[in-house]
Amino acid sequence: MTDPRRLQSLLVRVVNRAGARLLPRVSLRPEFLMEWARRLTGLADFGEPGFESALGVLVDSYESESRFHLVGRMLAQRELVRCLINRLRIEEYSRRNPATADVPVPDPVIITGAPRSGTTFLHRLLATDPATRTLRAFELFAPVPEGFTPAGEDDPRPVAMARGMALRRQLLASAAGREAGAAIHHFEAGDPEECWPLLQNSLFSEIFGLFACAESYMSWLRNQDWTPAFRYHRRQVQILTASRPASRLVLKHPLYLGYLDDVFRVYPGARVLWLHRDPAEVVASACSLCAASRALRTDFLDFPHIGETVLDSTLWRFDRAIRARERYASGRFLDVRYLDLTRNPMDTARRIYEWLGCPMTPEAGQAFTGYLERNRRERKGRRHDYKLEDFGLNAAALEPLFREYRERFQLSPASVG
Please report the pLDDT score of residue 417 as a whole number: 36
Amino acid identity, residue 332?
R
Q: Do 74 and 19 touch, CB atoms closer than 8 A? A: no
Beta strands in 71-135 (DSSP E): 109-113
Please report the pLDDT score of residue 146 as a whole number: 82
| DSSP one-letter code for 118 | S
Please report the pLDDT score of residue 415 as a whole number: 40
Domain at 4-408: CATH code: 3.40.50.300
10-residue mean pLDDT profile of the chain (417 residues): values are 83 91 93 98 95 97 96 96 98 96 94 90 95 94 89 85 91 87 81 95 95 95 95 96 87 93 96 95 91 92 94 95 93 95 95 94 94 84 76 93 92 55
Please report the pLDDT score of residue 188 as a whole number: 87
CA distance 332 to 156: 38
Please report the pLDDT score of residue 223 as a whole number: 93
CA distance 128 to 192: 9
**Domain chopping of the chain, boundaries:** 4-408
Please report the pLDDT score of residue 416 as a whole number: 39
Write the DSSP assignment of 188-246 as a string of letters: -TTSB--SHHHHHTTT--THHHHHS--HHHHHHHHTS--HHHHHHHHHHHHHHHSSS--
Task: Give the Cβ contact number of residue 281 at 10 Å.
Answer: 21
pTM above 0.85, yes or no: yes
